[in-house]
Structure 1
């Protein structure tokens, strides 16, 4: 790959991406544009601007954008229509943020005339795949630079030495190795590495940042109502909220009650297993609420087919194929299923648990007349079940008859 002339860097303002910024300048002698996304990670982003300016980036080349609404509306909500869980447990909080960051990197590259984008993901993780597959899907001509795969700064000591040689400010707690690594956005926090690397050892309490310990959560249960329209949550307790505001409120409620903690050993796309601690308080509530409203509004056949498609859909997101035709095909089917997923769900929040305790909808398929144990006024003729059972039993009877004959 020829040396880039101008690079758009996904920039957090932290030590690693600041080192990458300076390395790009010294290694390639190129102009650097920084992009810092506010995805609801809960950090002040102005220091990233100041750090970029300190490292010689022109003010017009510093992009800091609040993309929380787009993140929830166009990425999180479509994923939750599918009830997506990777390996049955993980709500894909890191995975779903990467395609949006990549989208803006590519768009900013086009706006500024840059011929390359760069990211700070390591060569051992999933994020390098997610960033780069998304970038190439959006612009097949773009150059992608992944410094961790090509530079010789292969240890924390070398990184610190490079930072000191280039006058990059180092926080005191960065002079040693961090106890664990954290990624955060409006959907979740993800912690991994160091004190978490032994999956046999329980994670220390200080790892959890977004949720109260369930044992310390309020002793009184809290009941909330979440309203849905066509598969997307639109209100809490009757108050209409924007997508990002709604998820923020659910995070507050879930965090207060210790909801959404997950200790997971997952199979990375690159082949190894890794242990992570995830906190997804609002997302955990949202998943239960969405399944609750689907219970009364979604036909059995559609619901069961969705559950069959879901693992494949979740895997595509985890592996970085958000912009693939197969993910878009599945999304079209999932969205079609949500046309009548409208109504309200009541949930009980208590000491780490969230449970659906009620649901109602004008689009409900639930018929009390058909399921009642009392007189049903002819809504259902129980005699019909005999023929239904006999037809479904026919192949089983034929199999059993053959097996009995062959054993004689």
Structure 2
């Protein structure tokens, strides 16, 4: 008999992907190789091994990718101050390129010609996984069960489990009615009552943060140290990238920071309502912009702000591994050479306030900026010619009778 073809599945150990293991075996006679990544979702990933073994999987990969995720994906994105549609900090989006990369690398290692995932045919994740995989391994085949099968409800999935003797862990206690996804950067909530955009999320939806109303009455102060645009220390203590995010998630969550309720435009064409908790990301965005305000040249800063929406859109739509994202990243990173120093922040009842910033590379010059006598550093008379030159085109337009109404 010829050897079975292998397929690498992004495997969580949950209901959907457990069904997918058996479905791939039954439908395509694949030898399934599972890959489970710890990217800071806050749940143990090792139990996925026993579940995969029970389904007959022989090659099982379980990896701790938290540091790589924070250092090589989240931190570069925050150098750009990336935010999608003015609000979303791209927590789910930025995790997918890393997972796609590792799936492709594992496929090459075990000799698999295909990968599979549990993303639905309605969402963004299918696009992100597959664009990443094709960019890194062009000849790869992708099998997306949700685009093929008719198991489109939890009841049908449970029935499939019963028919195929798939063990299902029945968790005790109240089950969340929402679809959730978590990593070091955020936790998201979709579905259930949130599909009504008028519905206010109940308080017990939130897992990482207290409500601002219940946050401490005294503010928390924290100082972040920056080197080339990345946080390298908290309150003077050196931290790895993942540790920075873990600690800021704790501090932010304890002060009610990072909650978001938005309606966003998915790449596939529909609008989607989601709630997010991103404590560390909310703090990091505020702090990074503060240290850049001291250290970046005006036009470099403005150019970054112009490029940012395009950069954020590329990440949201799944183009992390595209040449245009890499070109933008190179431009962004080139601006970060002097983004060094410290930012002091006040965390209080859901808000993040910058209360101090300093840098040896600061472009802020007190002698020039002062409202007191400036000792000749700036001749205020020069402003007259500057204004007249910039007003010239406006004066010509007005003289020709052109209306501004």
Quick check: TM above 0.5?
yes
Matched, 1:141 2:132: no
Task: Identify if the C-alpha distance between structure 1 residues 165 and 235 changes in structure 2 by more than 3 Å, giving closer, same or farther.
Answer: same
Q: Helix, strand or coil for the counterpart of 1:228?
A: strand
Q: Residue 358 of structure 2 corresponds to which residue in structure 1?
A: 360
Aligned match for 2:207, one of 193, 206, 209: 209
Q: Map 1:260-279 to 2 at 5 A.
A: 260-279=258-277
Contact 1:224 1:236 survives alignment (8 Å): yes
Matches within 5 A, 1:335-354: 335-354=333-352
The count of corresponding residues between Structure 1 and Structure 2 is 402
Tell me, in whole angstroms, the C-alpha distance in 1 between the residues paired with 2:358 and 2:367.
Answer: 16
1:172, CA displacement in angstroms?
A: 3.5
Q: Hey, what's the Cα distance between the residues in 1 that align with 2:243 and 2:197?
A: 35
1:32 aligns with 2:32: yes
Name the CA distance, whole Å, in 2 between partners of 1:245 and 1:133.
Answer: 30
Distance 1:223 1:191 in 2: 29
Deviations 1:158-177 (A, max 9, x none): 11110111122224469x99
The one of 75, 78, 89 aligned to 2:76:
78
Equivalents in 1 of 2:33, 2:15: separation in Å?
17
1:29 is displaced (CA, Å) by 1.2
* 1:84 counterpart SS class: coil
CA distance in 2, matches of 1:405, 1:177: 63
* Aligned pairs (5 A) from 1:56-75: 56-58=56-58, 61-75=59-73
Cα deviations by residue, 1:367-408 (Å, 9 ceiling, x for unpaired): 01111111110000000000000000000001111126999x
The answer for the alignment partner of 1:286 in structure 2 is 284
Deviation at 1:201, TM superposition (A): 0.8
- Where does residue 384 of structure 2 map in the other structure? 386
Distance 1:282 1:137 in 2: 30
1:72-123 Cα deviation digits (max 9, x unpaired): 1100000000000000100000000000000000000000001100000000
- Given candidates 161, 184, 187, the residue that maps to 1:186 is 184
> Shift in Å at residue 53 of structure 1?
0.9
Where do 1:219-230 residues align within 5 Å?
Answer: 219-230=217-228
Deviating beyond 3 angstroms after TM superposition, the runs of 4 or more aligned structure 1 residues are 171-174, 404-407
The TM-score, its normalising length taken from structure 1, stands at: 0.96
Aligned-pair distance for 1:224?
0.6
Deviations 1:166-190 (A, max 9, x none): 122224469x996110000000001
Kindly indicate whether residue 228 of structure 2 is the aligned counterpart of residue 252 of structure 1: no
Structure 2 segments unaligned to the other structure (5+ residues): none
Query: What pairs up with 1:1-16 in 2 under 5 angstroms?
Result: 5-16=5-16
* Residue number in structure 1 paired with 2:153: 155
Mapping 1:163-174, distance limit 5 Å: 163-172=161-170
Per the normalisation by structure 2, the TM-score is 0.97
Q: 1:26 to 1:221 in 2, by over 3 A?
A: same
- Separation in 1, partners of 2:142, 2:178: 27
Task: Give the Cα–Cα distance (whole angstroms) in 2 for the partners of residues 201 and 178 of structure 1.
Answer: 16
In 2, the alpha carbon distance for the partners of 1:266 and 1:233 equals 29
Which residue does 2:195 correspond to in 1? 197
Q: Is the 8 A contact 1:123 1:149 kept in 2?
A: yes
